[in-house]
Structure 1
Amino acid sequence: MSDIPRRRPGRHVVVIGGGISGLAAAHRLVTGGARVTLLEASGRLGGKLRAGEIAGVPVDLGAESMLARRPEAVELARAVGLADRLQPPATATAGIWTRGSLRLMPKGHMMGVPGDLAPLAASGVLSDEGLARVARDAELPPTEIGDDVAIGTYVAERMGRELVDRLVEPLLGGVYAGDPYRISMRAAVPQLFELARTHRSLLDGVHETQQRAAGRQQPGPVFMGIAGGIGRLPLAVADAVRAAGGEIRTDTPVSAIGRDADGWWVGLGAERLAADAVVVATPAPAATRLLDDLAPAAAGELASVRYASMALVTMAFRRADAEGLPSGSGFLVPPVDGRKIKASTFASNKWGWIADAGPGTFVLRTSIGRFEEEADLERDDAELVAMSLKDLGDAVGLSAAPLQARVDRWDGGLPQYPVGHLARVARIREHVAALPGLRVCGAAYDGVGIPACVSSAHRAADEILAALTPLAQGPGSGE
């Protein structure tokens, strides 16, 4: 490698990774007064957020919405000039395709755990035996929960496997594409975990929570999208970083990071980039490689993070061919029903901006692939489209051929949060914190949703800025 260039005055932070976590960290750092260089190995920014089009209609090809009840992502969108493009879904009505019929999603639940049996019974999602088993929760003695527990295991013990398999799993799978009998309740649904700790009955706990919520004014929609696609968010953040003086380099893989007497350096093949601090905002496999020599204990923990892969099949139909489809936003599919798709989103129903952009076109998409059930992802694109059309025909009677179809594969897209995940994250952060000027952030730590990723990024950036403040005020800082 060439010699490390002499450091210029000012706090220079290198952010590794150009997904929404890395971009949010870079934005927080540059607006906090740091000089920032963001490095992305691929030729595209945004990670799992990607906007595109089909049949001339703009669509999201990755994540399509963000939780609005958490403020971080919406506030970031407003900060980078997207306030006038924020839009709630046009419909919040969703279905679940199970037990041979498309049924309305029952209301009044917390990630599938009901607080009232009446809506669940009316939905027809569970059999009479399954409903009776759920009702037994109110009679059972308390169940020990310990420091953590798999959400499926705990709910099945309280309310039966049928509820888990037909309602909890598809709802949880829409977020993690994972196995509810392995996913940490404490990490994935912390509110439910607290109810399990403080209430003998889950039914009673969820019911009390719903009653309290009913007495409060709800602050707007639960979810929010962006006209033109959530994929616009990372691009707008990147523009804001550049406008504030930050540098963004794509097609720039990082080969190594290290420390010497002068501070941090980042290896870019034959080039070394000097830095006062480094934020690693990559998925766990890349973070493992970068931290292996510096923080082997943290790298060892990161090496155990596993990921689910999935494919999104996006299709455009003539509007006339889709007139018989339900008016809701789409439906989920429990794996226990043995179908290929795990969900379908009626994008032209769900998002007004898609309907407006293609009034003669109907856009929908399906998702395929679950953790350790990814054999179908080895099929070619045409087979995935055919599988989707077969299930759509059975579910909603759609028989027309699409005007256009495309398949976007997200290999290793969703980190899994097994029991003990939060303890693992705490250990990783403890090991990394022993190296001043180094932080990590991203979906592998605090949540896979966009707000959680932004929050993780802000935490890392704020800790870096706090650590660098004495440097900025020292001699020769230029401030």
Structure 2
Amino acid sequence: MRKRVAVIGGGIAGLAAAVRLRELLPAATDLIVYEQGGALGGKLRTGELGGLPIERGAESFLTAGPAGGDSAAVALAKRLDLGSSLVHPAAVPAALSIGGHLLPIPAGTLVGVPADLGKLGGVARPDDGRDHDAGRPLLAAGEDVAVGALVRERYGEQVLDRLVDPLLGGVYAGRADGLSLEVTIPQLAEAARVEHTLQGAVRAAQAKRNRTPGPIFTAVGGGMTRLVAAAAAASGARISLGLPVRDLSRTAHGWRLLLGATPFPQTDDVDAVVLAVPSRPASRLLAGVSAAAAEAVGVLDYASVALVGLALPPGTPLPELSGFLVPPSEGTLVKAATFVTRKWPHLGDDAGPVIVRASLGRAGEQERLQFDDQVLLERARRELGELIGDELPPPAASWVQRWGGGLPQYAPGHRARVAFARAQLPRGLALAGAAFDGVGIPACIASGERAAEDVSKSLEG
């Protein structure tokens, strides 16, 4: 009998799962992707600004994987015949905005954690003597801590605030005091279970990291929505938009999905399910399958952010940077800015608009985003001018993209909680996505592919 597999969630993790399922399963297998929103792609969304394709979500992904070679995102793009469309940023430095000055980000850090406290320049002063050898590893086997706790203990408050917090915040929109070392900087967590000092652990992690020559970051020319569309097409799946999955239950031979609005319910019976949705909807759908798993995944919190895109007049002067990050202690709503048309030279030339994208809001700051779009636009333009030291002209075009509850905040112990949840699930049901395996496009793609492989094994025989 022909098998049927449902993927719940049409973000890049769900789509990567669908592509991998198509590769692994017989050609006659029915694949269905259920996405309750009106479009595929999740946080991958390309918009238009000043006549250019500008990302309203993630703008790039890592080129290399943790063990070297192509990252999962580059590998998928190549399998989807997008290899010739991959582009890389210009070799332009980024900065930190501290006390009204744009200071170079010190070299030799690991997500902001320094390997050499003597090379911080004017960015921060470490507390001398804290990073001593106490005769034992920094972390016990299996131990996980908040990044902030470890850095503060070993380097002091200023290094944490001015260097580690802004770099972590640029990725997670969170504070280092609430983020798991094991999830956010796994290579450092591994080294810290062997090394006796934080400087030693950073150096060991950097030495072990397989550095693939070439650019660190990659994007898809024409926009990330090309990757989304190509994955959807390659999966050959039936795509169902705007039809939420409200319940998931076991049947004698597989799974039953309850779909649609309460007054007019629909059902779909399938042989296996990949669940690729955020933590709270995942917890709700798992409640009838495993209360323990539902509780374990439901504790994950999220940060809300907003992105502001500004198309400034051609020739608008900007610092010779790709952008900058802002420490939380500066008090601004803007936490990061990208000078898009300088960072990505394929987007335009000096005769075209100057595109700036700003990221607003951190974890716990939702109330600071509760203004209408025009207020946020003006606030962003004013703060950007103050941070670079020169007022920006009114934009010719602009937009605001809000991502309410968009970025997971991985508390210490997250990885163990997810492993526990997965161990409670029956065969034929797999979890995928940022809620479980980390942010970043390669992490989401790899998570979806692993889930597809687990599901395909459950269908064998």
Give me the TM-score of the superposition, normalised by structure 2: 0.93
For residues 53 and 108 of structure 1, what CA distance do their matches in structure 2 show?
36
Shift of 1:197: 1.8
Asked if 1:362 corresponds to 2:354, the answer is: yes
Aligned 1:393-472 pairs, distance under 5 A: 393-396=385-388, 397-432=390-425, 435-470=426-461
Q: 1:388 to 1:142 in 2, by over 3 A?
A: farther
Q: Contact conserved, 1:344 with 1:365, CA < 8 A, in 2?
A: yes
Q: Which residue of 2 aligns with 1:474?
A: none
- 1:88 is matched with which residue? 88
- Counterparts of residues 266-281 of structure 1 (less than 5 Å): 266-269=257-260, 270-281=265-276
Mapped partners of 2:229, 2:35: distance in 1: 13
Q: Structure 1 residue 298 and structure 2 residue 293: aligned?
A: yes
Shift in alpha-carbon separation, 1:51–1:306, aligned structure 2, 3 A: same
- Aligned residue for 2:68? none
Q: Which runs of 5+ in 1 are unaligned?
A: 1-8, 471-479
The alignment partner of 2:151 has SS state of helix
Q: CA deviation at 1:142?
A: 5.1
Corresponding residue number in structure 2 for 1:337: 330
Q: Deviations over 1:363-400 (max 9, x none)?
A: 01111111111211101111111111111111221431
SS at match of 1:137: coil
Q: Name the counterpart of 1:125.
A: 123
1:76 aligns with 2:71: no
Which deviates further from its counterpart, 294-303 or 13-22? 294-303
Greater share of helix: 1
**Aligned residue in 2 for 1:195:** 191
Structure 1 residues 289-348: Cα deviation after superposition (integer angstroms, max 9, x where no partner): 21111221111112211111100000100122x22x122210000001111200000100
Query: Aligned equivalents of 2:16 and 2:386: distance in 1?
Result: 42
Q: 1:353 to 1:134 in 2, by over 3 A?
A: farther
> Superposition pairs for residues 146-295 of structure 1, below 5 Å?
146=140, 147-210=143-206, 218-242=212-236, 246-269=237-260, 270-295=265-290
How many aligned positions are there? 446
Aligned to 1:65: 60
Please, what is the CA RMSD of the aligned residues?
1.8
1:97-134 deviations in Å (ceiling 9; x for gaps): 0122111111111111212234312xx111xxx23x15
Structure 1 runs of 4+ off > 6 angstroms?
none
Counterpart-to-counterpart distance in 1, 2:95 and 2:243: 43
CA contact (8 A) 2:183 2:410 kept: yes
Q: Does 1:41 align with 2:66?
A: no
CA distance in 2, matches of 1:463, 1:399: 52
Quote how far apart the aligned CAs of 1:217 are.
6.3
Secondary structure, in 3 states, of the residue corresponding to 2:434?
coil
Q: 1:217 to 1:157 in 2, by over 3 A?
A: closer
1:388 aligned to 2:394?
no
Q: 1:207: how far off? A: 3.3
Partner of 1:476: none
Contact 1:62 1:231 in 2 (8 A): no
For the pair shown, the structure with the greater C-alpha radius of gyration is 1
Matches of 2:189 and 2:246, distance apart in 1:
40
